[in-house]
Structure 1
């Protein structure tokens, strides 16, 4: 062998090794963000000290998910101090786990004529709920969809987030769900970029391990002027470290963005949807914060509207875990199919509600107290390549495996051939699917050596559509949704999953991050203006 050929082989070997190290580093970094424990270390004890007080007035943002981060960013733009309080040890909430992307239309990234159906798609997805308080719901939906273009552009141009890839998800008439072209999932990319920007502002302070216990009102039923919270602070060194719980009062107008109640299994979820007992969730187990709002007069709406996502990964290493990782909707949007006993059974591009209902009518897998179904998610090489940033992470986590077509059972192989014939226009899909993403298999026998990506999935509790009643600017109301005369709770705004009325029966994929940005930005802006006017 020539010396030149030997050096060439050495070069490419080193290149492959470095690529493997790079991918492992990226996925380790994302994994630490997504799977960090929300609980303090076991060797840390909690004691309570006397109450402390923060006399400096500031915009108080409760919850460090995307809604809270958006509110904090807009408030800081108006040159007021911001205190961001989160009960978890690390910021990000469920937003940091978001894996499909953020909706926006029309944007410069959509390679299509102007998208004009976002409003009607959202109304259709909201279902029967639109018959109640129709005008109020339409006002919220209009705010969401009309500001979606500016929300995406704000994240890209102002916050430096890559959202250049656009996919079509279930329930959407057009491709409008944006994500980045790199390895980081969109939720993590957005949250980390915004946190970095916020921490560069000297008027911003983040308090983690900070549990808000109540809102402060000047008089019963009066304006909100602050919050009472329990702040866990670490003291001591080495083995003597403990966390001391301090009762503290923060003063200022409040943006409440503490998230939903999907993980409150034995609390609000059991109260409003006892029929969902035993179904796993994507949400960390923690109580909903809605009671804090109702104590100051806030009204709740749509609390029985809970979204079941059809595809949560069943981890082969821990099949009965009640906390599951979402199989992003983009996997189906890019061409993936769902199989039960090797056969397709549904249009994978239908709404989450529709697909979940179809799956849950199938025979349930015998899993003891856990309620699970045994469905297979399969992507061909084209879909795998297009969703590579997601697939690589799922493979690393052991949730997805790659298999040659020749190693699949006969029924599954036949289903691949039948679906390929539909994609290639040789037959009409019996389930009505007309959008096929980037599926490229032709269904021929010479493709048996090609690899497909497969994983087991089951329906999971994912999102709660109900919450505090707000208007289209994010102000929290003390009257029922749709009442003509609005009664506002002064000094209080809401944004994100803690609020209700926007999504109705069912939320479109990609609209949760959008909701956080649109209403979070408005809430932060108005709270800052309120604080400035009062000083």
Structure 2
């Protein structure tokens, strides 16, 4: 009866996900009742949990990957999630997951991809270069990037072959030398596809437990080792013993806390993150070293909803929209940047433009335009954006003369495979030709603005995913993965590498924590 009840619960969850997936991904598309199964500290419990399981804090992709590996190693696992629904920000990820040297790249005509490490180092910028040039001690940034890039193919294979996720489509994103960002061929965005599939697999395991609406408040340390933690659920405090994997995400939504402390210059910039306090203080309380905390990624494109243009929470305009050919126009209707540059470069170019009047919210007047070919290539994303009114279809002739001229000039550059204005070298699936013949063609148009999106700083850690404390020595009994960590991305993160780091270091953390649980 217990297993029947569990399977029925899992089935209920999956039906709810299927009905509400895109609405959940983008925050407010439907009401919140769809996930009642996970409300009010509901738990998935597939067996009576013995003492000292591997405790995973956070149910995004890093936490789920850790849980999977710990279970495979024979440990029991208990995930604690402070939100009423699982998935974290990972379930919203819309562009894809990076992988170098994969069979899907080869199928797309990319025979070799040996530049992933170099692209990541270039994006990491001065933080990486200064440490290397001065031979400074500190977090092993080179080793972390090496692990991230070298293990990327195996991460894709794991998700496809073992977890059962479709990642057969490979697309270019800004800052990448070649297309290496993987997503599925269907309409479900990659973050949601990966997270929901993993949740289903975990829910089938007899030694897995997930508690939602469970707020971790402190770690229990004895003799220099993390022995467990304390959390609050239903207004009551609970103590749990076992090795801990911390996978709670970053602090871009902590506008009045850590974000205000480390980056006060970003006050008023909208965000793709929920307005929640960060959990970094829990790690600081056990002397974890925090690094790169002022390194905050401003994503260049968050949608400006014309129904509420001054809203501080904004839905991400996925980078794949530009990767598949989309262009950005200023308020004057002109291109102003290579849209395929890194997020940092494109964001700075936008923020050098005049700001738009949006009350207390700082934002800019930028238009995103996709031609018919780009629209077809991003149909899985575009359907939702059109449904929400974040983008609309217009004939070219309905645009301003300046915008028409910009489209024609870019279309000519695509036809010549040479962008003399900004040096863009990748044009995605743009196929619109220049001239009077395109005036009846429909393009997709939306307003976008930079938003705070990702925090590169966090807890120092090593290639074994151990959290590092004073003197950068490992804190026993404590691992971390995902956005809570610092040291991999430096100045800026490449698009598509957030899901990748969750998989790689989440799996490592889970396996390492399982060893600790088995030994005592």
Query: TM-score normalised to the size of structure 1?
Result: 0.87
Instruction: Report if the CA contact (8 A) 2:418-2:424 is conserved.
Output: no
Instruction: Report if the CA contact (8 A) 1:119-1:141 is conserved.
Output: yes
1:226 aligns with 2:218: no
Counterpart in 1 of 2:481?
495
182-191 or 29-38, larger mean C-alpha shift: 29-38
SS for the counterpart of 2:170 is strand
Instruction: Report if the CA contact (8 A) 1:62-1:255 is conserved.
Output: yes
Partners of 1:211 and 1:133 in 2: CA distance: 37
Partners of 2:510 and 2:203 in 1: CA distance: 17
Q: Displacement of 1:488 after TM fit?
A: 1.1
Instruction: Report if the CA contact (8 A) 1:38-1:89 is conserved.
Output: no
Deviations 1:408-433 (CA, angstroms, capped at 9, x unpaired): 11111111110011011186421111
Instruction: Report if the CA contact (8 A) 2:418-2:425 is conserved.
Output: no
SS for the counterpart of 1:170 is coil
Counterpart in 2 of 1:451?
442
Which of the residues 313, 323, 342 maps onto 1:333? 323
Q: Displacement of 1:32 after TM fit?
A: 3.4
Two-structure CA RMSD over aligned residues (Å): 1.9
Counterpart in 1 of 2:198?
194
Counterpart in 1 of 2:502?
516
1:30 aligns with 2:22: yes
Instruction: Report if the CA contact (8 A) 2:245-2:510 is conserved.
Output: yes
Partners of 1:291 and 1:427 in 2: CA distance: 50
Counterpart in 1 of 2:296?
306
SS for the counterpart of 1:514 is helix
Counterpart in 1 of 2:68?
73
SS for the counterpart of 1:496 is coil
Counterpart in 1 of 2:334?
343
Partners of 2:255 and 2:417 in 1: CA distance: 47
Deviations 1:211-235 (CA, angstroms, capped at 9, x unpaired): 000001124xx10010100012xxx
Q: 1:76 to 1:28 in 2, by over 3 A?
A: closer
1:93 aligns with 2:88: yes
Counterpart in 2 of 1:279?
269
1:169 aligns with 2:173: yes
Deviations 1:293-349 (CA, angstroms, capped at 9, x unpaired): 011110000000000000000011111111100000000000000001211000000
Q: Displacement of 1:26 after TM fit?
A: 6.6
Counterpart in 1 of 2:44?
none
Instruction: Report if the CA contact (8 A) 2:50-2:76 is conserved.
Output: no
1:262 aligns with 2:252: yes
1:355 aligns with 2:346: yes
Q: 1:91 to 1:426 in 2, by over 3 A?
A: closer
SS for the counterpart of 1:71 is helix
Q: 1:450 to 1:158 in 2, by over 3 A?
A: same
Which blocks of at least 5 consecutive residues in structure 1 are unaligned?
A: 1-24, 47-53, 233-244, 481-485
Which of the residues 435, 440, 445 maps onto 2:431? 440
Deviations 1:74-111 (CA, angstroms, capped at 9, x unpaired): 00001111000000000000000000000000100002
Q: Displacement of 1:73 after TM fit?
A: 0.4
Partners of 2:505 and 2:511 in 1: CA distance: 10
Q: Displacement of 1:355 after TM fit?
A: 0.6
Q: Over alpha carbons, which structure has the higher Rg?
A: 1
Q: Displacement of 1:56 after TM fit?
A: 1.4
Q: 1:477 to 1:409 in 2, by over 3 A?
A: same
Q: Displacement of 1:492 after TM fit?
A: 0.3
SS for the counterpart of 2:82 is coil
Counterpart in 2 of 1:62?
57
Instruction: Report if the CA contact (8 A) 1:38-1:88 is conserved.
Output: no
Which of the residues 203, 210, 234 maps onto 1:206? 210
Which of the residues 298, 317, 320 maps onto 2:310? 320
Aligned length: 482
Deviations 1:252-274 (CA, angstroms, capped at 9, x unpaired): 00000000000000000000000
SS for the counterpart of 1:452 is strand
Partners of 2:126 and 2:409 in 1: CA distance: 36
Instruction: Report if the CA contact (8 A) 1:27-1:393 is conserved.
Output: no
Q: Displacement of 1:132 after TM fit?
A: 4.6
Instruction: Report if the CA contact (8 A) 1:105-1:115 is conserved.
Output: yes
Partners of 1:204 and 1:492 in 2: CA distance: 20
Moved over 4 A (4+): 25-28, 36-41
Deviations 1:140-166 (CA, angstroms, capped at 9, x unpaired): 000000000000110011111000000
Which of the residues 80, 84, 90 maps onto 2:79? 84
Counterpart in 2 of 1:531?
517
Counterpart in 2 of 1:129?
127
1:155 aligns with 2:155: no
Partners of 2:252 and 2:261 in 1: CA distance: 12
Counterpart in 1 of 2:10?
none
